[in-house]
Amino acid sequence: MKEYIFLNIGSTGINLAQSYWHLFCLEHGISPNDGEPDLLCLPKDDDNSHVIFRETKTIPYGPIKYTPRSVFVGEQSEIDSIRAGSCKNLFPAESLIDCPSECGGVYSKSYMLKVQLEKTIEQMRKETELADSIEGFMLFNSIGGGLGSGFTNALLEQLGDSFGKTQKAGFNFYPVYDISSKPHQVINSILALAKMQDLLNLSFVLDNSALARMCTNQLERESASFKDMNSIATLFLSQLTCSMRNDGALNTSLSEMESNLVPYPTIHNIVSSMAPLYPAQKVLENDLLVTDITLKLFEQASFMQNIDINQGKYMACAVVYQGDIVPKDVGHGISRIKTSRTIQFVDWCPTGFKCGINYQTMHEQIPDIMDIKRVKRGALMLGNSSSYREFPKMFVQMSEDINALKIFKKDFECIEESDYDVALEQLKAKVSDYTEIEAETVEDEGQTEEH
Ligand SMILES: Nc1nc2c(ncn2[C@@H]2O[C@H](COP(=O)(O)OP(=O)(O)OP(=O)(O)O)[C@@H](O)[C@H]2O)c(=O)[nH]1
Ligand SMILES: [Mg+2]
């Protein structure tokens, strides 16, 4: 059995975790309040909830409880928010690790949290011992936050030493940058991303500015709230892990995802889109047809990244459909995308679509916890696109705009100035790497293999 441990770091990680664990509980017939089975739910044959929950008993012969395979690291107030939330009795006390608040905001201080780092590794060892075989760690953080950048990197380094072979996937939120009031977030992000390139197997990019745009345009909100942005990210995660948590068709494990999506180890930043997405009150005459869902999936508005995806070329693309869907319609939808020529693949991967269908009902539980319409069918697209280079390019530009070295010298003690230079150079190199890979031809590939 291949299980996963979920690590939720800082405000973003902790807020999001409360939303996705609530939905996962409901999807697996578990009470989010205390982890007890919901007796009104019929057990499903293809349920693999053990992948993310472990079974526990508080007293011998007592009722079974389901405990998330999860660890939380955050400031005391963030940890307290879990105890006051809708999953208040779901997580054991030892899985909640608090940090001093004076570390907030800056990479270097959070990177040095040795005690919390040891506690986290210790808790992960315990979780690993309670599992058959951990396949991977999923980390949730904002790269702009102090904890989300510094602590996450320190943890990833330790995980590399202690759990080298285990898959590591980051769900990395990119904040909306306000460089005049929060310049530290730019430096945190540069330091975080430079190191994560070598330490993660996969990085799912979740861009807050795109999530905010989806809240206003698709969910028709007057303004975007973190709650709604986290709801969209929760649906993304639910669809992404559906094939792992049930008997699924495609991307049934993190390693399968890596082999489907990552051509070179450090070219592992994944862009994504999801369709359809409507507010709960929307009146629909009918659910969208599979072809319309597929076309919508490749519209810029459906992407969870605010970059022009069509400026780049895809190196890989996986579409996972969910719900009431038949394979013939999927074939038709994908051929419409191919003939429309809106999306381009690199020369060495000309027809790289991978498709799968998960027949589980689409988010049956949504109305209970979020203000988003439940639909009968939908899809999630995961892509590896050279357009990702817009992000490192943007960070390099912002670093110049804020005169980062001056801020770095003043507030980022414990890290050498040369380390910042190296991180910046790594991001510049990343821009070139993506451009070169995009331009590679089949002949170049052959030559590289011969050497
Ligand atoms: N999507 C999303 N973004 C958030 C959320 N909370 C904060 N953010 C954004 O993430 C940025 C910084 O990350 P945080 O997660 O707050 O930081 P942290 O990891 O707790 O680290 P500290 O800076 O030490 O508090 C903020 O400036 C917000 O823009 C959330 O719940 N969801
Ligand atoms: Mg915080």
Global pTM value: 0.95
Cis peptide before 63 (omega within 30 of 0): no
The tens place of each residue's pLDDT in the chain, 451 residues long, gives 689 999 999 999 999 999 999 999 999 999 999 999 887 776 677 788 999 999 987 777 778 899 999 999 999 999 999 999 999 999 999 999 999 887 768 999 999 999 999 999 999 999 999 999 999 999 999 999 999 999 999 999 999 888 888 999 999 999 999 988 899 999 999 999 999 999 999 999 999 999 999 999 999 999 999 999 999 999 999 999 999 998 877 888 999 999 999 999 999 999 999 999 999 999 988 889 999 999 999 999 999 999 999 999 999 999 999 999 999 999 999 999 988 878 899 998 866 789 999 998 888 888 778 999 999 999 999 999 999 999 999 999 999 999 888 888 888 887 888 899 999 999 999 999 999 999 987 776 555 443 3
Check if CATH label 3.40.50.1440 holds for domain 3-390: yes
- Residues 135/255, Cβ–Cβ less than 8 Å: yes
Instruction: Locate 128 and state its tokens.
Output: 């690993």
Q: Ligand 1, closest atom to CA 206?
A: 1
- Residues 327/369, Cβ–Cβ less than 8 Å: no
Q: Ligand 1, closest atom to CA 105?
A: 23
The verdict on the CB of residue 11 being under 6 Å from ligand 1 is: yes
Sequence ranges of the domains in the chain: 3-390, 391-450
Query: Is 129 considered catalytic here?
Result: no
Ligand 1 atom 25 nearest Cα:
104
- Neighbouring residues of 122: CB distance < 8 A, sequence distance ≥ 6: none
The DSSP code sequence of 363-416 is -TTHHHH-SB---SEEEEEEEEEGGGGHHHHHHHHHHHHTTHHHHHHHH-TTS-
Q: Dump pLDDT digits (tens) for 228-257.
A: 999 999 999 999 999 999 887 788 899 999
Q: 């999801």: which residue's tokens? A: 274
Residue 11 CA to ligand 2 center (angstroms) comes to 4
Distance CA 397, CA 411 (A): 20
Distance CA 451, CA 109 (A): 44
Catalytic residue among 36, 157, 256, 440: 256
